Amino acid sequence: MRETRRLWSGLEAFNLASRELVLAQVDDDPDRRQRVDALLARTCTVAAGRVEPWRLRVLNLARAGRADEALRVLTEGTLLVADPAPLEWVRIGLLREMGRLDEAEAMARAYLQEHPDDPDMLHDLAVLQGQRGRWRDAAATAERLKTAAPADHRGWLDLGVALARLGRPEAAAATFREGLAHVPEGPARDLLAENLARLDEAGRRP
C-alpha cells in the first residue's frame, strides 16, 4: 500500500509538472522551470521505468540552458527505462543542438546497427548529414529510408533534397514524382508536390 501511494504521488507530480511545463514554454520563467525539474525528478525516482518523465525532464533542462545536466539525466534514464529508444532520439537531438555533431552522428549510426530500418532515425541521420554538407551520405541514407518505408514521405523528400543539392535537379524531380506514387494522400504527399513544383519552376527560368 505504501508503495502504491508513493507511485500515485509521483504520477501526481508528473501531471502537475506537465501543466507547469506548458506555462514555462510561454513565459520561460527560470523559477517555473526549476519547479518543473523538481517535480519531474521526483517522478523519475518513483516511476523510473516510465520514459515520459525522463524525456520531459531532459527537454526542460535543455531549454533552461542546462544541457550538460540534461545529458547526465539522459544517461541515467536510459539505464532504467524499459525501452530507451525514445531517450536516445532525444540525446541525438540535444547533441545536435549543442553542436556536438560527431557524437550525434556516431550515436545515430550505433542505433541503426541494432535497428537498421528505423524510419525516424534514418530520417534524423539524413538530415544531420545534410546539415554537415555531406549530401552524398545523406542521399545514401535517404535511399535506405525509402526502401525500408516506401509510404513514408521523408525518404523521398530527403533523397530529392540531397540530389538537388548535389546539382542533379532532374534526378531530384524524378524522385519527387516517384514518391507521389507511393505516399498516400495528405499533407505529407502535398509536401512532395510542392517541392516538385519548385523544381519545375526553377527549371523553366532562363
Residue pair 56/88 in contact (Cβ under 8 Å)? The answer is no
The rounded distance, in Å, linking the Cα atoms of 96 and 126 is 13
pLDDT at site 206: 61
Residues 6 or more apart whose CB falls under 8 angstroms from that of 33 comprise: 24, 60, 63, 64
pLDDT at site 48: 76
pLDDT at site 14: 63
pLDDT at site 7: 45
Q: Which residues of the chain have pLDDT under 70?
A: 1-27, 203-206
Residue pair 55/86 in contact (Cβ under 8 Å)? The answer is yes
- Predicted model pTM: 0.76
* Cell numbers that stand for 74 in this block: 539522459
pLDDT at site 15: 66
pLDDT tens for 130-189 read: 999 999 999 999 999 999 999 999 999 999 999 999 999 999 999 999 999 999 999 999
